[in-house]
Amino acid sequence: MTDIAQPLTTADGKPLKGALLRAQARARRRAFLLVLPLLAFILITFVFPIGQMLYRSVYNEGFTWHEDVTSGDRTPLMTNLADWFDANPPGTVPDEAAFAALAADLVTLRDLKAPGQAGTRINYELSGSRSMFTKAARSAKKLEPPYKEAILELDKDWGNPELWQAMRGASSSYTTNFYLAAIDRERDASGAVTMVPENRQVYVKLFMRTLTLSLLITFLTFILAYPIAHLLATLPLRHSNLLMILVLLPFWTSLLVRTTSWMVLLQSQGVLNDTLVGLGILGDDGRLQLMYNRAGTVISMTHILLPFMVLPLYSVMRMINPSYVRAARSLGATSWTAFRRIYFPQTVPGIGAGALLVFILAVGYYITPALVGGADGQLISNLIAFHMQKSLNWSLAAALAALLLAGVLLLYWLYDRLIGIDNLKLG
């Protein structure tokens, strides 16, 4: 009689259960190796740069460390002053010991030829500080007690409480001051967070302008793209394919070419104004100002981003069965009611996909606003580029970019909560 409790085995006599587990493990390893190149690509080109940006936004060692460009040796800076800050709470009036620590550190800066580096770090928070450091470092070895009087003789601004608060904040490589600056805040002499003066309140206004213009551009692209996508979805295939080429044509043209074309069209002596003047609609002294303002930014970016709204809408509309609307009409619904209650709800996934795509692209654009927007039409991305390329305040640029990223993720989360990301379709 056969023992029914005998475990099942493979053809070579090995337990079947173990063989299945090993086969599943091999399948998982093969699947992992297949996606490994894509995973490495995402980590290297996406995750790592974002992580580096977030780290840079809270880390700046310009006031605390100096690295020799030839040998790579790292030397601590401003250690004496950091010790004084550790021993005295914020708001303490700098005494002779504080200025003595500053004098010792100025000698170190002179020996390492790093006064410009330390001064630049403080200059990010208090304009004009760099020249103070370079001037004081040149005379550092000649300073004698009492150090407070000697240093104040070099420049009376060394007694400014705001300067000492800035140095206190910079005495640690890790700081949140760049995030405070990105929302128009700063720390006063006592260390409390306060608003910056009104003439320096720039970033919050730019964030609000970026949000407002991006929402406006998203709405305008939706208004223009909806009838275009509907036409493409309802026309016979031979006609819709021809029109689709016109929609895709901008992708085959350089962004710079399209932007400069709008400059030619919109400028005061451009094609549009010359046409309106030639037709007698406008007088020569009443030409429309459509360049170097928000109008130019909205018009050009709406045109550039329009295909990104058309394509998701078209991909959803072409899958809608036209018999649904015909059935509603046969049951007595008007054209408007059939559209509002039958057709439009089925296009919502395409609207959500297109709106997210256009909005995310709009908040990050900087070439087009820089060329056609002027000072009034620039977005927060233009200021991020300025700090990266001109002022070299990479930490502030990283903080601004991090806040922009957080805002986009917040809107994405709200979209998921209100509509549901599962309803988003790109085709």
**High-pLDDT (> 90) share of the chain, %:** 56
Beta carbons within 8 Å of 399's beta carbon, 6+ residues apart:
57, 58, 178, 179, 181, 182
Angle, nearest 10°, between helix axes 203-234 and 380-389?
120
What is the C-alpha to C-alpha distance for residues 213 and 297, in angstroms, rounded to an integer? 9
User: Given pLDDT bands bounded at 50, 70 and 90, which one contains residue 361?
Assistant: very high
Q: What 8-state DSSP symbol labels residue 174?
A: B
Beta carbons within 8 Å of 366's beta carbon, 6+ residues apart:
379, 381, 382, 384, 385
Is residue 99 a contact partner of residue 147, using CB atoms and an 8 Å limit?
Answer: yes
Tell me the per-residue pLDDT of 141-184, one tens digit each, with 9 for 90 and over: 999 999 999 999 999 999 999 999 999 999 999 999 999 999 99
What is the C-alpha to C-alpha distance for residues 234 and 318, in angstroms, rounded to an integer? 7
Q: Out of 51-65, 111-125, 276-290, pick the least confident.
A: 276-290
Residue from 192, 154, 164 nearest 95 by CA: 164
Is residue 179 a contact partner of residue 403, using CB atoms and an 8 Å limit?
Answer: yes
Q: Inform me whether the pLDDT recorded for 61 exceeds 90.
A: yes
| Preceding omega of 145 cis (within 30 degrees of 0) | no
What is the C-alpha to C-alpha distance for residues 304 and 301, in angstroms, rounded to an integer? 5
Sign of CA dihedral 106, 111, 112, 115: positive
Tell me the per-residue pLDDT of 384-410, one tens digit each, with 9 for 90 and over: 999 999 988 999 999 999 999 998 898
Stretch (H or E) spanning 53: helix 48-56
Mean pLDDT confidence for 67-71: 86
Is residue 119 a contact partner of residue 166, using CB atoms and an 8 Å limit?
Answer: no
Is residue 184 a contact partner of residue 204, using CB atoms and an 8 Å limit?
Answer: yes
pLDDT the model gives residue 1: 46
**For the residues of 312-359, what is the DSSP string, one character each?**
HHHHHHTTS-THHHHHHHHTT--HHHHIIIIIHHHHHHHHHHHHHHHH
Tell me the per-residue pLDDT of 275-300, one tens digit each, with 9 for 90 and over: 888 888 888 888 888 888 899 999 99
User: Given pLDDT bands bounded at 50, 70 and 90, which one contains residue 29?
Assistant: very high
Is residue 374 a contact partner of residue 293, using CB atoms and an 8 Å limit?
Answer: yes
Q: Out of 3-7, 36-40, 110-114, 364-368, pick the least confident.
A: 3-7
Q: What 8-state DSSP symbol labels residue 364?
A: T
Q: Inform me whether the pLDDT recorded for 259 exceeds 50.
A: yes
Look up residue 271 and give its two tokens.
Answer: 């094609």
pLDDT the model gives residue 199: 87
Mean pLDDT confidence for 189-208: 90
Residue from 297, 264, 319 nearest 377 by CA: 297
Look up residue 321 and give its two tokens.
Answer: 């069965």
Rg of the chain (C-alpha set) = 31
pTM of the model: 0.86
What is the C-alpha to C-alpha distance for residues 309 and 202, in angstroms, rounded to an integer? 31
Q: Which residue has the higher pLDDT, 286 or 48?
A: 48
Look up residue 210 and give its two tokens.
Answer: 């970026």
Sign of CA dihedral 234, 238, 242, 248: positive
Is residue 380 a contact partner of residue 404, using CB atoms and an 8 Å limit?
Answer: yes
Mean pLDDT confidence for 112-121: 94
Strand, coil or helix: what is 151? helix
Other Cβ atoms closer than 10 A to 192 = 11
Taking every pair of C-alpha atoms in the chain, what is the biggest distance, in angstroms? 110
pLDDT the model gives residue 426: 54
What is the C-alpha to C-alpha distance for residues 211 and 372, in angstroms, rounded to an integer? 18
pLDDT the model gives residue 65: 95
Mean pLDDT across the chain: 89
Other Cβ atoms closer than 10 A to 257 = 9
Angle, nearest 10°, between helix axes 394-418 and 380-389?
150
What is the C-alpha to C-alpha distance for residues 29 and 216, in angstroms, rounded to an integer? 48
Beta carbons within 8 Å of 231's beta carbon, 6+ residues apart:
240, 243
Is residue 118 a contact partner of residue 167, using CB atoms and an 8 Å limit?
Answer: no
